[in-house]
Structure 1
């Protein structure tokens, strides 16, 4: 029987014993943050949630129930020793870190264990429930523009170039297939001028991260002499 684990901070539940594994997964969806105003003495409701141009979302929950079989022996002391090892691993981060779930091989979460973990145990075995608090969106493991044949997703992937040589001026079209705007990491080897979305940006040689890509196709006009590349990951619900 194949068990599906998760990886967090470089470790997996199965690293703590041959019979320690994830029994159930519950990948929750984020809820929308709604800002609504009801007109007094009326059924009219105004929704101002997207006044900033983007629908905001609350954080999401990812829950695992882990079956734990005591690898140290048949006594309560050693069972608590194993429980402490697992808890120290899961609670060791004070910020959101990458959480990789075997059932979602193309994406990862940014997660932190903030809530109290629950362990129902006896001398030999136990059931540990952990609830991760996560950034609302799943993040692709691969950067956009990575069109390696063996790992390319032919169902949802978009083949596009993200590396360009600028010799005077050039119009670039980049497709952001995320459900939200993303801000790519832009690398240039010379100062360049970038115009997109009605805004003008001056970027120096090096790495910058200040120009957002809206969802869908983005027209980017670049002028100057040099090379430019864009790096970002798809973000989906």
Structure 2
């Protein structure tokens, strides 16, 4: 899905606050800090990994693309177009050098986009092309990133940071439990796919659920991961201690 807009707010002015609000952060590169105005953002849906088989004299085909009630996708390319204005030629060349210096050597990292404040992407820089217009003293940069197909929630479930809450797509839930006796709990994953959950434990806590029977303490919990399917996940806790289920949603946005 593509979005086109122009951030028409003023850029940095002497002795005034920075007013550019739309942009991205990737590693050391922050488009707003460097005075880039965001013109366009394009984040098309990823292509599916399709696995199909057909037989002679068969109508249609067999589609094996879905496994465990989940579809699988290739990485997606997210592209941005930025502009800087009213800079002499020497300054524009320095700005071009800086954007390449910060992005091209960067390793796989989180991509934060002001369009989706509650989420981040995970991927690597792919390309940058720069166009210089000497007549109007502007510089336009088109930057692409190759990213994991799903966006991650910026904060762990249960954090309930007010500015990130999307009431149309949200669940308030407990994810940390004090265990003194056997109790039943439910963890809800409203994400677009299964989520990988880490656990932090003090004391000794038993976790039992569908295909899960774990005896956890502070030492072995560090390397333990639990896969939470979409929607409700039911568990039984026993023992004595505390347990914190630590997971982020993965969303197709």
Q: TM-score range by the shorter chain?
A: 0.7 to 0.9
| 1:142 to partner: Cα distance | 2.1
d(CA) in 1 for partners of 2:32, 2:162: 31
Alignment match of 1:120 (pick from 119, 123, 131): 131
Deviant stretches of 4+, over 6 Å: none
| 1:149 to partner: Cα distance | 5.1
For residue 181 of structure 2, give the secondary structure of its aligned residue in structure 1: strand
Structure 1, residues 136-181: CA drift from partner, whole Å, max 9, x if none?
A: 1111112211235565332211011111111232211000111111
Q: Indicate if the aligned counterparts of 1:70 and 1:82 stay in contact, CA closer than 8 A.
A: no
Alignment match of 2:202 (pick from 185, 189, 197): 189
Match of 1:93 in 2: 106
d(CA) in 2 for partners of 1:209, 1:60: 29
Unaligned runs of 5+ in 2: 1-7, 10-19
For residue 63 of structure 1, give the secondary structure of its aligned residue in structure 2: strand
Q: Indicate if the aligned counterparts of 1:196 and 1:219 stay in contact, CA closer than 8 A.
A: yes
Match of 1:102 in 2: 114
User: Once superposed, what is the RMSD of the aligned Cα atoms?
Assistant: 2.1
Normalized against structure 1, the TM-score is what?
A: 0.88
Q: Indicate if the aligned counterparts of 2:208 and 2:236 stay in contact, CA closer than 8 A.
A: yes
Alignment match of 1:210 (pick from 225, 232, 247): 225
Structure 1, residues 67-118: CA drift from partner, whole Å, max 9, x if none?
A: 13374x334xx433221110111223222x111111211111113112x321
Q: Say yes or no: does 1:235 pair with 2:245.
A: no
Shift in CA distance, 150/5, structure 1 to aligned 2, threshold 3 Å: closer
d(CA) in 2 for partners of 1:106, 1:148: 9
- Show the 5 A alignment for 1:9-158: 9-17=27-35, 20-51=36-67, 54-69=70-85, 71=87, 73-75=88-90, 78-95=91-108, 97-114=109-126, 116-123=127-134, 124-148=137-161, 152-158=165-171
Match of 2:24 in 1: 6
For residue 184 of structure 1, give the secondary structure of its aligned residue in structure 2: strand
Match of 1:220 in 2: 235
Unaligned runs of 5+ in 1: none
Q: Indicate if the aligned counterparts of 1:187 and 1:208 stay in contact, CA closer than 8 A.
A: no
Q: Indicate if the aligned counterparts of 1:65 and 1:129 stay in contact, CA closer than 8 A.
A: yes
Match of 2:192 in 1: 179
Match of 1:161 in 2: 174
Shift in CA distance, 152/191, structure 1 to aligned 2, threshold 3 Å: same
Q: Indicate if the aligned counterparts of 1:175 and 1:217 stay in contact, CA closer than 8 A.
A: yes
For residue 15 of structure 1, give the secondary structure of its aligned residue in structure 2: coil
